[in-house]
A and B are shown apart, each in its own frame.
Chain A
């Protein structure tokens, strides 16, 4: 087991444990902080996979942006001292059947496919090639994302104002 493997398992454990906490903890503030750990763990995995740019963007957008928004949401809609959240379960039987089937299918495909010709090819840095793709092939989508964010901004401001 080399260093890469150890770091992978470290990040994987952080991600799994904190993701479980996000969903099952009774305290919404803990859930939000565990989400921080999950997002951080995933950023680490991105870096391990050689996606340096995406790893940084994950930290900036998710941890720096979306998580802060969520925390604001938590604080504006709850008293900060531990608020127990109801975890009443809706439609137990169909839900568990659905989730069980989903998990089963995913496990089956991951275990049954022979991945032997898949080797991790770590490129040096992806920023250059990503930039080329963004500015050439995917320029239309890139521009449209700007539009989408603008519209989301206007819409959010319109709904949230008094």
Chain B
């Protein structure tokens, strides 16, 4: 195995974060009260990883004996993961102090989960996808239960862990069947043999089990039962991380697997499976979210619905669909980061205060926070001119182009339903009043994170064309 300088340069985002994790470990060990500097250290590290991934966008390389791909679309995912996690580290700094979990390990886990995500998105091999996914999931299990004196946090961790490893079981068994059919787990081998494989029951069952395993990770109905509990119980900054970049990582794996396979042969056996998952997730998520009284729980159901919209792009399966999904993922990431960031500011010390009733009259008491929250809710519900609208627009357009207009129609219906519960929060904030005085003095770091996210939502809404062109240029 030989390395060239070019290989090392193109691998540098991954190497940097790997070195960063070890550096964090050492700082944590040697420096007293290290948690005070680790937050900013993590932020700067992730920001430089994000910057590196962007400037290396056209630095395509296959490294480690063709086991890892960098450049192009992969680097867009690198950017999304590291930038999203950088915003999360901004949101976390004050929040974990408030929640009483101010430990250096928090940042180690955060960085390692980003490493896992990056491995998934660059994989050319099912084994790498599996290892990356596990690295990410193990970090998330720990982070979800990080507030180890809080029953709800631990319960979320337990549920996440049990259902997550259950999904892993399906995933590995599916991989075993795929291995039996193909004789290898490399995606290029599968593409080469796809003509004979697409009628092999062994391969199809294996892939089906694999999709079931992944549906748990992306939170698609009927494999969503862990989502509301975990998103509600986990510390809010952690929920922000796993609902955005974690979901993006799982989608990146689906994109890697299916894009070469489906280019080889269309229409695929899996299109109906994915369409059914999409329809169920959209409708179930939007309808159940209406009856929720807890904001974090409502956003959990809305994240199920968003997974459904993104699955439309995968079901349509054309280039527009894929770039639409990537655009949607970026938009969704920053919308959710802003929303969870604001929730984490308003949340009380005992981790209560996430109910709708706690937001009564916020529009008068905290006009800035309420305004930002209203803007985020508009964006999430897909009202133009914010990012959420164009995400949906690109995805639905790809479905219509693929001749699956019915899927787009279901998507539009479900978006209309979802407007109700997003706007309900705005009504509560501006038209209800309560005497309870909530005084929140937002910290600089958290406000910075929220402002970055909101700014990106607006930019993506005003100039979606340039971003979709950037994504398209990486095919």
Contact = CB atoms under 8 A, between A and B. Distances in A.
B105 A154 contact: yes
B146 A151 contact: no
B205 A155 contact: no
A109 B201 CA distance: 6
Interface string A96-130: 00000000011011001100000000000000000
B142 A141 contact: no
Given A140-B67, A141-B67, A151-B108, A158 B138 contact: no
B74 to A, nearest CB: 15
B127 interface: yes
A109 B1 CA distance: 39
Nearest to A112: B201
Given A151-B109, A155-B142, A159-B157, A136 B65 contact: yes
A105 B202 CA distance: 10
Contacts of A138: 67, 127
Interface stretch (B128-136, B228-236, B426-434): B128-136
A135 B64 CA distance: 11
A144 B205 CA distance: 29
Contacts of B109: 151, 154-155
Contact of A136 (B1, B115, B148): B1
A159 B64 contact: no
B103 interface: yes
A158 B146 contact: yes
Interface string B113-135: 00100010000000110011011
Contacts of B131: 141, 144-145, 148
Contacts of A147: 18, 21, 112, 115, 135
Contacts of A108: 201
Nearest to A156: B142
A5 interface: no
Contacts of B134: 148
A145 B127 CA distance: 12
Contacts of B132: 144
Interface residues of A, number: 24
A154 B67 contact: no
A139 interface: yes
B145 interface: yes
Contacts of A158: 103, 105, 142, 146, 148
A17 interface: no
Contacts of A141: 67, 127-128, 131
Contacts of A145: 131
Contacts, number: 71
Interface residues of B, number: 33
B351 interface: no
Contacts of A137: 64-65, 67
Nearest to B142: A155
A114 to B, nearest CB: 11
A61 interface: no
A147 B304 CA distance: 31
Contacts of B194: none
Contacts of B148: 158-159, 161
A152 interface: yes
Given A137-B67, A159-B146, A109 B205 contact: yes
Contacts of A139: 1, 64
A148 B205 contact: no
B139 interface: yes
B61 to A, nearest CB: 13
Nearest to B212: A102
A148 B128 CA distance: 13
A117 B37 CA distance: 62
Contacts of B105: 154-155, 158
Contact of A151 (B64, B139, B177, B202): B139
A144 B21 CA distance: 12
Interface in B61-111: 64-65, 67-68, 103, 105, 108-109
Q: Which of A108, A148, A154, A158 is the most central at the interface, judged by chain B CB atoms within 10 Å of its CB?
A: A158
Given A140-B67, A141-B131, A151 B138 contact: yes
Contacts of A113: 201-202
Contacts of B18: 147
Contact of A155 (B25, B64, B115, B141): B141
B21 A148 contact: no
Nearest to B157: A159
B182 to A, nearest CB: 14
Contact of B138 (A106, A140, A152, A161): A152
19 contacts: A137-B67, A139-B1, A139-B64, A140-B128, A141-B67, A141-B131, A144-B132, A144-B135, A151-B108, A151-B109, A151-B112, A151-B142, A152-B138, A155-B105, A155-B139, A156-B142, A158-B146, A159-B142, A159-B148
Given A140-B67, A140-B68, A154-B109, 13 more contacts: A109-B202, A137-B65, A140-B64, A145-B131, A147-B18, A147-B21, A147-B135, A148-B134, A151-B138, A154-B108, A158-B142, A159-B146, A159-B148
Interchain residue pairs A-B with the least CB separation, the first 10:
A155-B142, A140-B64, A151-B112, A109-B201, A158-B105, A137-B65, A148-B135, A159-B145, A159-B148, A109-B205
Interface of B: 1, 18, 21, 25, 64-65, 67-68, 103, 105, 108-109, 112, 115, 119, 127-128, 131-132, 134-135, 138-139, 141-142, 145-146, 148, 157, 177, 201-202, 205
Interface of A: 105-106, 108-109, 112-113, 136-141, 144-145, 147-148, 151-152, 154-156, 158-159, 161
